[in-house]
C-alpha cells in the first residue's frame, strides 16, 4: 500500500510526536512482523532515544542515539500511530503488531491488518548495507533523466515492472508507476530498453511530479492508508488511470484498460499510451 509519498507523509507526521522520545517497554504482539527474535528486539531497544525520523524508499526510518535504526516497511496495510497516552477502547488500533512505549507515557503503535509489513532493528552498518542494495531516491536532486535512461537501457523487463523493482528505483509502487506512465504517454508493457530518450525524459519528469504532488496531497488512500494522525490522503481523486478500468480517459475519453502482468494490475489509456 504505502509507497514513497505515504511513507514520507507518515515520517513527517511522526516527527513531532516521537523525536526525543526514549524507548521503554516494547510489546511484540505479532512476532511475524519482525525479522529477528522478539526477545532480542525488545531488549536491544530499551533505553534508546529516537533522534530523527526519515524515509528511504517506502521505508520509514527511526534513527536512534546509538546510530542503529528501526526500519519500518509498511507493506500493504501498515500504519504508524503515535499516542500521547494509552488510547481508550474506541481509539485503539484494530490490528496492533508492535507497541513501543516511551518513558514519558506516550507510545507508538505499528498496526498492520495483513501483516505484510516488517519492523526491524538494524545496526548502522546493517542499515547501510540494506540501503545500498536499494535504488536511487527518485526525488533526490541528483537523480536525473540520464541516470534513468541508462538504467532502462540494460533491461528488457516491462517498464511498469522495472519501476516497481526497489533495487532499481526506491519508493515507486503500483499506483504511482501507473500514474507516471500515463503522464509520460508510455505503455506499461513497453520493454524498459525500448523507452526512448524523449520518453525517458518525460517519464523522469512525470515520476517526480506525481510523487511530489502526492506528498503535497498527503498520499493516496484507496482503502487502508492513514497518516500518523489517522487521516486519509487526498490524492485518490486526482488519479488518472489507477483503479479506473472502464472509465473514460480524462484526456481523450477512451475507456481505461486494466491488464495483469507480473502479478499486478496495470492501468493505461490505449490511445494516450500506445504500445511501441
Partner DNA sequence: AGTGTATCCTGCAGGC
Partner DNA sequence: TGCCTGCAGGATACAC
Q: Select the residue interacting with DNA from 152, 164, 169, 249 (CB under 7 A).
A: 164
d(CA 4, CA 214): 9
DSSP state of 88: P
Shortest spacing between CB 50 and DNA, in angstroms: 22
The sheet carrying 96-102 orders its strands as 23-28, 96-102, 107-112, 78-83
Distance CA 136, CA 127 (A): 15
Q: Which three cell numbers stand for residue 97?
A: 503488531
Build a one-symbol-per-residue string for 87-116: x at contacts with DNA by CB under 7 A, - elsewhere: -------xx-----------------xxxx
Binding status of residue 163 toward DNA by CB under 7 A: no
Backbone dihedral region for residue 218 (phi beyond 0: left; psi -120 to 50: alpha; all else: beta): left
| Least distance in angstroms from the C-beta of 65 to DNA | 27
Interface map 174-203 toward DNA (x if CB under 7 A) = xx----------------x-----------
CA pair distance 27, 179, nearest whole angstrom: 39
> Which residue stretch of 12-20, 98-106, 137-145, 260-268 sits at the interface with DNA (rule: CB under 7 A)?
260-268
User: Which span sits near DNA by CB under 7 A: 42-50, 60-68, 72-80, 98-106?
Assistant: 72-80
Q: How many residues bind DNA (CB under 7 A)?
A: 38
> C-alpha grid cell for residue 30?
505479532
Strand partners, 108: 82, 100
Q: Are 169 and 163 in contact (CB under 8 A)?
A: yes
Does 158 qualify as catalytic in the annotation? no
Catalytic residues: 2-3, 58, 264
Binding positions for DNA, rule: CB under 7 A: 1-3, 6, 32, 57-58, 73, 75-76, 94-95, 113-116, 155-158, 161, 164, 166, 173-175, 192, 220-225, 261-265
Amino acid at each position: 500500500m504505502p509507497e514513497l509519498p505515504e511513507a514520507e507523509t507518515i515520517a513527517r507526521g511522526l516527527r513531532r510526536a516521537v523525536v526525543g522520545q526514549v524507548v521503554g517497554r516494547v510489546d511484540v504482539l505479532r512476532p511475524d512482523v519482525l525479522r529477528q527474535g522478539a526477545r532480542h528486539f525488545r531488549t536491544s531497544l530499551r533505553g534508546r532515544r529516537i533522534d530523527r525520523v526519515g524515509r528511504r524508499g517506502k521505508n520509514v526510518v527511526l534513527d536512534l542515539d546509538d546510530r542503529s535504526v528501526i526500519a519500518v516497511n509498511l507493506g500493504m496495510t501498515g500504519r504508524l500511530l503515535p499516542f500521547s497516552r494509552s488510547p481508550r477502547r474506541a481509539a485503539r488500533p484494530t490490528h496492533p503488531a508492535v507497541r513501543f512505549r516511551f518513558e514519558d507515557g506516550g507510545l507508538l503503535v505499528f498496526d498492520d491488518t495483513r501483516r505484510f509489513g516488517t519492523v526491524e532493528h538494524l545496526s548502522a552498518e546493517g542499515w547501510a548495507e540494506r540501503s545500498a542494495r536499494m535504488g536511487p531516491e527518485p526525488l533526490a536532486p541528483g537523480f536525473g533523466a540520464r541516470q534513468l535512461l541508462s538504467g532502462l537501457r540494460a533491461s528488457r523487463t516491462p517498464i511498469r515492472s522495472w519501476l516497481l523493482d526497489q533495487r532499481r528505483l526506491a519508493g515507486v509502487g503500483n499506483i504511482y508507476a501507473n500514474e507516471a506512465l500515463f503522464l509520460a504517454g508510455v505503455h506499461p508493457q513497453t520493454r524498459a530498453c525500448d523507452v526512448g530518450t524523449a520518453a525517458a525524459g518525460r517519464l523522469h519528469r512525470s515520476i517526480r511530479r506525481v510523487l511530489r504532488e502526492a506528498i503535497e496531497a498527503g498520499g493516496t488512500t484507496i482503502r487502508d492508508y492513514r497518516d500518523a494522525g489517522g487521516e486519509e490522503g487526498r490524492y485518490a481523486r486526482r488519479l488518472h488511470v489507477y483503479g479506473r478500468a472502464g472509465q473514460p480517459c480524462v484526456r481523450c475519453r477512451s475507456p481505461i484498460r486494466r491488464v495483469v502482468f507480473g502479478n499486478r494490475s496495470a492501468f493505461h489509456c490505449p490511445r494516450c499510451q500506445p504500445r511501441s
